[in-house]
Homo-oligomer: A and B are copies of this chain.
């Protein structure tokens, strides 16, 4: 079972202590608890912080803060989308807050965006408390499936140009999303030339999870690469992405660029940063690729 978010608030500070990052914690000063309830799947806490705006917490783990969420949403969406020359159909698994949808919708060439979220509670909380993320649902190309991502994939083979898995950590409902069978299912749901981009945990904490998963899925995918972005409210301040392709040699180089209007709206992604995000520190490069 996940942690009860409210139990982590002590003396007015939320302390993010978790089994995946023992001995360390990010803390945020809470000015007001906005909501706290149990959905069918997890513990959902929303609070107003002194420094980082509204914060969404699932099973005791920070998912979104208004102050830095753009780094995550922009990078997990625009790296695979700009690495694809012509994405038409995009699937988002997880990401119930709507932030990834908001970024996908910036791509005018995309014709269909399917959101598959297992927990409607997250969508409800985001629409109520995080309107700058939930506005992603307003785009007319978006359809929503409240269901298990693996089940949806099984029913939709050879269908998507880009699949983005915006999941919580591999504890609780999301743990299956970090396993090889789920990646095999995503592969079958990709069209030729398609790209998968998943939340890939933190290089400073979780190389023992990241490396075996990447090694395993290399047997299926044409290319498997790791990129990362900086994100102060995630454990150790960074989060990575696993980029895997069907019939494509790399995602490191953008095939397209944001036009000037869209680039002006973006706060994190640039085409130069797209490429830099794949340049890993020596310890991480060695662990993942076995060589410098």
- Which A residues have a C-beta under 8 Å from some C-beta of B? 13, 15, 21-29, 49-52, 68, 70-71, 204, 228, 230-232, 236-238, 263, 266-270, 272-273, 275-276, 279-283, 285, 292
Among all A-B residue pairs, the 7 with the closest Cβ atoms: A237-B237, A23-B51, A23-B50, A232-B236, A276-B279, A276-B276, A25-B27
A270 to chain B: which residues have CB within 8 Å?
A: 279, 281-282, 285, 292
Additional pairs, 6, CB under 8 Å, beyond known A204-B230, A236-B237: A21-B51, A70-B283, A267-B281, A267-B282, A268-B281, A270-B285
Query: Contacts A268-B281, A281-B71, A281-B273; is A26 near B23 (CB within 8 Å)?
Result: no
Bound complex: CA A135 to CA B71 (Å): 38
Query: B29 to A24, Cβ gap below 8 A?
Result: yes
Chain A to chain B contacts (Cβ below 8 Å), 10 pairs: A22-B50, A23-B51, A24-B29, A26-B26, A68-B204, A230-B281, A263-B282, A267-B281, A268-B283, A275-B279
| Across-interface contacts of A268 in B (CB, < 8 A) | 281-283
Residues in B neighbouring A237, C-beta threshold 8 A: 230-232, 236-238
Closest chain B residue, CB of each to CB of A267: B283
Decide: A24 and B28 in contact? CB cutoff 8 A: yes
This protein's copies in its complex: 2
Identify the interface centre among A238, A275, A276: most chain B CB within 10 Å of its CB: A276
Contacts of A50 in B (CB 8 A): 22-23
Q: Chain B residues near A232 (CB, 8 Å)?
A: 24, 204, 236-238
In the assembled complex, which residues on chain B have CB atoms less than 8 Å from the CB atom of A23?
A: 28-29, 49-52
Which chain B residue shows the least CB distance to A70? B283
From residue A3, how far is it (CB to closest CB) to chain B in Å?
16
